[in-house]
């Protein structure tokens, strides 16, 4: 049964992946499938969490969605149009990516937050920078601070504000709370859920934390060995996975995040 | 200098071999090969230059400079191993640097249009530009490797390759310029440059030698700037593909 058929709320796919494969050479130089003929629809306006063991291909999949990487086979449609037909700069502004370990650009917080607009020749107004900092729960006084001097949690929020300054439609989140302490992780998590709802954003969110996936996600995609093992409405998955792989993963995940 | 005295200069090489053996640097073989190569190359070029200077010809002069640029290109390109088409880019950067620098010297009549001047000065300019080109390729690769995540963030924010790599490119060009700028600051105080020393030893007036040395220093600084900027601009795109992704 397709995910669309099992979902209570009607939704239209924002991304459609059709037979997407990606191979990379292993240590001996032989190509190994990181993603293996993925067929997947990702819902617009909802939060989809990508879960699965390490090496399942989650990050590789995420990097394909804003064309930081290219599939070897298959095609990806965004808003019904093949990614390769989009202007890549326009696409990346529309589909923002936040990495697991926040990477600060040289300079101040204000320069970091204003990086996106500056790349298209516009200066980010001070009021807008303040607004973005407030939006991600940071004090405007931080604008003058050197970004590299901030704590991990603060840097992750700056990363988020920097991505939001481009006014994206989609947020790709690659384990954005993994490197944070539990308190900061929970704050950032609530912040993202609040932002996606308030700004009507679509989010594709990789997490290793099943409790987080249950709390935050509308849909869940379980990946294993470069394939989609199960896709489900989040509540449905946690009530009882439809596949053996899903059941095993849920059991092992509960041991890690009871 | 007599041939006997010249042969005594081998004492310096033997000193280096002994030091390498003593400190177990395992460079003895390289030093000996380098010594033989340097002696043969310099003696050969001395005879060739003697011939060219005594039978001035535009073609011979051009050929000599072309050989210099060709060998320098091959040598500097090794630093960009794995970058497709880097050899042509290095060739273009070295050629442009040579043409602009020597062209200005000839245009403003700083030097006479004779093989003695053109070949000698070209050797210095191309040799210096070769070192700069190798340094730029090495440094740019290092910057790209060390700051890959930064590049990925900028690309994901919608940067073009030029925008994404701008800081790394600037850092690499700066690194190439530092030796030339430091030489400008300390010349005469810390070191007496090779050409000036050579002229003085050959009996020229120090005042005349200094004038030529000023010409050399200034032109080498401009050659370093030109070569590193041209090569940087010709090369940075090789780190990205058509879809503005970091090359695999």
* pLDDT one-digit tens code per residue, A27-59: 888 999 999 999 999 989 999 999 999 889 999
**Shared domain check, B65 and B173:** yes
Does B247 map to a domain? no
* Mean pLDDT value across residues B158-175: 96
Does A157 map to a domain? no
* Mean pLDDT value across residues B10-30: 92
In angstroms, what separates the C-alpha of A235 from chain B's closest C-alpha?
32
Does A42 map to a domain? yes
Any chain B CB within 8 A of the CB of A82?
no
* Mean pLDDT value across residues A125-141: 93
pLDDT over 80 at A180, yes or no: no
**Shared domain check, B133 and B26:** no
Any chain B CB within 8 A of the CB of A120?
yes
CB contact under 8 A, A166 and B157: yes
Does A243 map to a domain? yes
**Shared domain check, B93 and B21:** no
List the structure tokens of B224: 């370093």
DSSP letter, residue B246: B
Q: Which of B154, B159, B243 sits opposite A67 (nearest CB)?
A: B243
* Number of structural domains chain B divides into: 2
CB contact under 8 A, A88 and B244: yes
Strand order in the sheet with A202-206: A95-98, A170-174, A202-206, A47-51, A219-224, A227-233
ipTM above 0.85, yes or no: yes
Does A248 map to a domain? yes
Does B28 map to a domain? yes
> Is A155 exposed, middle or buried (CB count within 10 Å of its CB: 0-12, 13-18, 19+)?
buried
Residues from chain A that touch B241, judged by Cβ atoms under 8 A, are 70
Q: Where a domain ends, among B55, B76, B100? A: B55
Q: For position A258, what pLDDT does the model report? A: 43
Instruction: Give the domain range for residue B75.
Output: 58-239
Q: Where a domain ends, among B15, B33, B55? A: B55
Q: Does pTM top 0.90 for this prediction?
A: no
Q: For position A137, what pLDDT does the model report? A: 86
Q: For position B139, what pLDDT does the model report? A: 96
CA–CA gap between residue A256 and residue B145 (Å, rounded): 35
The pair phi, psi for residue A114, each rounded to 5°, is -90, 5
Chain B residues contacting A via beta carbons under 8 Å: 149-150, 152-160, 163, 167, 241, 243-245
pLDDT digits (tens, 9 = 90+) for A73-107: 999 999 999 999 999 999 999 999 999 889 999 99
In angstroms, what separates the C-alpha of A172 from chain B's closest C-alpha?
10
CA–CA gap between residue A228 and residue A215 (Å, rounded): 21
CB contact under 8 A, B149 and A119: no
Does B119 map to a domain? yes
Cβ atoms of B94 and B129 closer than 8 Å:
yes
Q: Which residues pair with A232 in a beta bridge?
A: A220
Q: For position A10, what pLDDT does the model report? A: 61
pLDDT over 50 at B41, yes or no: yes
Residue B52's contacts (CB-CB under 8 Å, 6 or more residues apart) are B60, B61, B64, B115, B119
CB contact under 8 A, A92 and B157: yes
């Amino acid at each position: 049964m397709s995910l669309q058929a099992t979902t209570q709320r009607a939704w239209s796919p924002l991304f459609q992946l059709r037979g997407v494969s990606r191979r990379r050479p292993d240590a001996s130089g032989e190509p190994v499938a990181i993603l293996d003929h993925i067929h997947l629809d990702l819902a617009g306006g909802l939060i989809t969490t990508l879960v699965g063991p390490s090496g399942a291909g989650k990050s590789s999949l995420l990097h394909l969605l804003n064309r930081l990487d290219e599939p070897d086979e298959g095609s990806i449609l965004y808003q019904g149009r093949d990614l390769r037909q989009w202007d890549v700069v326009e696409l990346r502004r529309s589909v923002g990516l936040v990495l697991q370990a926040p990477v600060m650009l040289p300079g101040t917080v204000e320069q970091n937050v204003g990086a996106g607009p500056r790349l298209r020749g516009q200066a980010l107004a001070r009021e807008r920078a303040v607004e973005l900092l407030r939006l991600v729960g940071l004090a405007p006084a931080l604008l003058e601070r050197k970004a590299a001097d901030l704590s991990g949690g603060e840097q992750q929020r700056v990363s988020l504000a920097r991505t939001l300054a481009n006014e994206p439609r989609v947020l790709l989140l690659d384990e954005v709370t993994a490197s944070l302490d539990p308190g900061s992780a929970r704050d950032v998590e609530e912040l993202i859920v609040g932002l996606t709802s308030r700004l009507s954003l679509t989010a594709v969110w990789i997490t290793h934390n099943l409790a987080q996936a249950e709390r935050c996600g509308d849909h869940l995609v379980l990946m294993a060995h470069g394939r989609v093992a199960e896709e489900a409405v989040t509540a449905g998955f946690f009530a009882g996975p439809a596949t053996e792989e899903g059941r095993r993963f849920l059991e092992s995940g509960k041991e890690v995040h009871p | 200098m007599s041939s006997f005295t010249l042969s005594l200069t081998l004492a310096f090489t033997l000193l280096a071999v002994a030091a390498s053996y003593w400190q177990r640097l395992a460079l003895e073989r390289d030093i000996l090969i380098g010594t033989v190569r340097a002696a043969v190359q310099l003696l050969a070029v001395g005879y060739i230059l003697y011939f060219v200077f005594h039978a001035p010809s535009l073609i011979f002069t051009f050929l000599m400079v072309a050989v210099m640029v060709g060998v320098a290109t091959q040598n500097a390109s090794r630093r960009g191993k794995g970058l497709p088409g880097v050899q042509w880019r290095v060739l273009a950067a070295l050629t442009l640097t040579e043409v602009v620098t020597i062209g200005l010297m000839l245009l403003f009549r700083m030097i006479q249009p004779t093989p003695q001047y053109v070949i000698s000065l070209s050797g210095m300019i191309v040799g210096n530009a070769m070192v700069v080109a190798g340094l730029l390729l090495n440094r740019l690769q290092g910057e790209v490797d060390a700051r890959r995540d930064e590049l990925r963030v900028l690309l994901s924010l919608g940067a073009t390759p030029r925008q994404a790599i701008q800081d790394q490119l600037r850092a690499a060009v700066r690194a190439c310029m530092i030796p030339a700028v430091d030489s400008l600051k300390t010349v005469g105080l810390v070191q007496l440059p090779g050409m000036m020393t050579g002229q003085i030893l050959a009996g020229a007036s120090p005042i005349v030698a200094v004038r030529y040395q000023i010409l050399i220093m200034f032109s080498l600084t401009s050659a370093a700037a030109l070569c590193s900027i041209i090569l940087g601009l010709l090369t940075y795109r090789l780190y990205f593909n058509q879809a503005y992704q970091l090359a695999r």
